[in-house]
Structure 1
Amino acid sequence: MAIALFMIFLLALPFFLFIILLKHSINNNGNFNHLPPGPPGLPFIGHLHMLMLDNSLLPHIFLWKLSQNYGPLMSLRFGFKPTLVVSSAKMAEAVLKTHDLDFCSRPRLRGATRLSYNALDLAFSPYTDYLKEMRKLCVVHLFSRVQKYRPIREDEVGRLVEKIFQLSVDSQPVNLSEAMMCLSRSIICRIGFGKRYDDGAERSRVNEVHKESEAMLSSFSFSDYFPFMGWVDRFTGFLTRLEKAFKELDTFYQQLIDEHLDPNRLIPQEEDLLDVLLRIRMDRDFPFDLTIDHIKAILMNVFIAGTNTTAATVIWVMSALMKNPKCLKKAQAEVRDLVGKKGFINEDDVQALTYLKAVVKETFRLHPTAPMLLPRETLRNCNIGNPWI
């Protein structure tokens, strides 16, 4: 009898889910009347299929082409999440500047929330008093130290130039992508943690932790778009993989913190970012109780967000110059004229490289490393142009 009732329940469950989803879809369609125009979507999944099935274009290129038909403000629905796509400079200014306080929060995404220790970081934290204080802490105590770390940047660039020179002497090829990733990661790790990963095994481990964490931040989670279907993530393996990535990342951070708290550790000439955060925690110089988890969340932003963006930009610049020999020769001539008899360029000389800076800016325009930025969440209704958001 019990087995029969259980089978009836299993057979009836899809029907009840269908009724609930249909009702939710109808309600959503009614709420979309006041939003900007957008393409027709499918029941339940909305417009998710448009991004997942069309692999011929990058997502931001696909959305831009779609905006040519529906305007700079376009409404989409990803599952049960209504989404506004902004595709013009004027509308972007309205959202990011004029109505910044209305669009300043972040949605809670499963992967980002877990890896940021329940959104305790800067990038994925919702707009609260905590975020205001955390921004103030980072601006005053961390970002203000950029110039103090100039010797680290110049030393790492010098190491890379020496390595490339040695490879050229030996007539060996240079893997630019790998070299730039190593450069940016070495700079980030020395500034953030005071460590340089030269050992092959340790470097491979750090690379793998970084790669897997990035993958989890951009992976699809059912709970992000279908809140009542979060249990599906367990069957797809997403939760298992996410938890494994979190534990590896947490172990990496904890080892760094333990090394910095070791009383026998040699005191460095210049504090790294982790030293600064631990000192603030010890001095209790923060309105909130700054815990180890808060520090780990900030380290996540430093370690993950700061590596690929820098390397990818340089790789795109070099790729663009190689495809345009005339531009390459002009940039080389400008650099060589500035170098003269010095034989090297420091950070102060960069301001005089007008043409090279123009090349970098054009690369930012053509190949942005984060073309869609991080998603934002509205805090209140507002009027942008004519539609109400």
Structure 2
Amino acid sequence: MAMFFFLGAFFIFVLFLLQTYRAKRKILLPPGRYGLPLIGNLHQFVQYKSPPHHYVWQLSHKYGPLMSLRLGFVPTLVVSSAKMAKEVMGKHDLEFSGRPSLHGQQKLSYNGLDLAFTPYGDYWKEMRKICVLRLFNLKRVQSFHSIRENEVSCMIQKIRKAADASRTANLSEAVTALTSSIICRVAFGKSYEDQGSERSKFHNLLNEAQAMAASLFVSDYLPFMGWIDKLTGLMARLEKNFSEFDVSTKK
């Protein structure tokens, strides 16, 4: 009996989603590839077996520089030309000023409390005002001149030593380390570059944080299936990285 009740409830739920989906299709949207109920166009990205931006680029040849897709329950507008991007970011910047509320990014930014991920509004305006007047003003930037000069000098010394020893110097890694070290000294008052295991741990945490911010959480697109993130361990991995990174930056 319970089985029949469950199947009946599930059938009604699917019908409700189909009706909702059809109602949304009546809204005038840019052209785009037709998706399936519930998952939208998500399965097509998996089938293409190439980076998502390659797949979107291929679709733009068929549907134009402005097209609509649906990633689970999330309607998505894809802009793929400089002219259209200028139209969106210039004339309609307020409508498109916010970032999507993705689970990994929200967790690592303390629920969007930073300037990059907080929604556009009074709080964002106040944060921007504080940054412009207190953090990024000319006097404050000049006060960190010695730190930048010292870190650039250290980087040049490392490259010179590698050249003297006939070793290959990876300039990409050197510049990344330079940027990381300057930011750490300015923001946290310490550098992780010459601290052995602590340096390695911090860089691993930073790389993991970047991976978590860009990871695909099922709950972002199919909220009712968020339990999959716990089953795969992605949620626990995010919590661990957040806790360790939080402790590391407060030491």
TM-score, L = length of structure 1:
0.59
- Between the aligned partners of 2:212 and 2:186, the Cα distance in structure 1 is 25
Q: Tell me how far 1:116 sits from its aligned partner.
A: 1.1
Amino acid at match of 1:120: L
Distance verdict in 2 for CA 1:46–1:174, change over 3 Å:
same
Deviations 1:144-171 (A, max 9, x none): 2333323322221221111111111112
Deviation readout 1:332-363 (Å, 9 max, x if unpaired): xxxxxxxxxxxxxxxxxxxxxxxxxxxxxxxx
CA spacing shift, 1:170–1:94, aligned 2, 3 Å: same
Residue in 2 aligned with 1:288? Answer: none
User: In structure 2, do the counterparts of structure 1 residues 176 and 224 end up closer, same or farther at CA, with 3 Å as the change threshold?
Assistant: same
Structural mapping, 1:324-363, within 5 Å: none
Amino acid at match of 2:207: K
Amino acid at match of 2:136: F
Alignment correspondent of 1:133: 126
Instruction: Indicate yes or no: 2:171 matched with 1:176.
Output: yes
Deviations 1:203-239 (Å, cap 9, x if unpaired)?
A: 0111111111111111111221123332332222222
Residue 51 of structure 1 pairs with residue 83 of structure 2:
no
Equivalent-residue separation in structure 2 for 1:70 and 1:100 (angstroms): 23
- Does the C-alpha gap of structure 1 residues 69 and 133 become closer, same or farther in structure 2, counting only changes over 3 Å? same
Residue of structure 2 equivalent to 1:335: none
- How has the CA–CA distance of structure 1 residues 160 and 245 changed in structure 2, closer, same or farther, with 3 Å as cutoff? same
Residue 194 in structure 1 maps to residue 217 in structure 2: no
- State the secondary structure of the residue aligned to 2:68: strand
Q: Secondary structure at the residue paired with 1:118? A: coil
In 2, Cα distance between equivalents of 1:64 and 1:13: 40
Pick which of 138-147 and 8-17 moved more. Answer: 8-17
- The partner residue of 1:220 within 216, 219, 222 is 216
Decide which of 201, 207, 212 is 2:203's aligned counterpart.
Answer: 207
Aligned mates of 1:38, 1:193 — CA distance in 2: 46
- The answer to whether the Cα contact below 8 Å between 2:115 and 2:124 also exists between their aligned partners in 1 is yes
The alignment yields a C-alpha RMSD, in angstroms, of: 2.1
Looking at structure 2, the residues matched to 50 and 140 of structure 1 have their Cα atoms a distance apart, in angstroms, of 47
- What is the one-letter code of the residue matched to 1:203? R
1:64 corresponds to: 57
Residue among 5, 19, 22 paired with 1:23: 19
Instruction: Flag the 1:125–1:161 CA change in 2: closer, same or farther, 3 A.
Output: same
User: Within 5 Å, which residues of 2 pair with 1:367-386?
Assistant: none
The CA distance in 1 between the partners of 2:5 and 2:183, in whole Å, is 55
* Structure 1 residue 122 displacement after superposition: 1.0
Separation (CA, whole Å) in 1 of partners of 2:36 and 2:157: 56
Q: Which residue does the alignment assign to 1:104?
A: 97
CA contact (8 A) 2:112 2:119 kept: yes
Specify the alignment match of 1:275 in structure 2.
none
Report the secondary structure of 2:111's partner residue. coil
The residue aligned with 2:228 is: 232
Q: Pairwise mapping of residues 309-324 of structure 1 onto structure 2 (< 5 A)?
A: none
- Paired with 1:37 and 1:114, the residues of 2 have a C-alpha distance of 34
Percent identity, aligned pairs only?
52
Q: Does structure 1 conserve the Cα–Cα contact (< 8 Å) formed by 2:39 and 2:72?
A: yes
Please list, as runs of the form range in 1=range in 2, the aligned pairs for 1:7-18 lying within 5 A after superposition: 14-18=10-14
Question: Does residue 120 of structure 2 align to residue 124 of structure 1?
Answer: no
Instruction: In structure 1, list runs of 5 or more residues that go unmatched.
Output: 256-389
CA distance in 2, matches of 1:204, 1:212: 12
SS of alignment partner, residue 181 of structure 1: helix
Aligned residues: 248
Q: 1:246 to 1:18 in 2, by over 3 A?
A: same
Distance 1:150 1:13, change over 3 A: farther
Larger radius of gyration: 1
Q: List per-residue Cα deviations over 1:114-143 (Å, max 9, x = no partner).
A: 111111111111112111100111111112
Normalised TM-score (structure 2): 0.89
Look up the match of 2:76.
83
For residue 82 of structure 1, give the secondary structure of its aligned residue in structure 2.
Answer: strand
Unmatched tracts of structure 2, length 5 or more: none
Q: Cα gap change, 1:232/1:15 in structure 2, threshold over 3 Å: closer, same or farther?
A: farther
Which structure carries more relative contact order (alpha carbon 8 Å, separation 6+)? 1
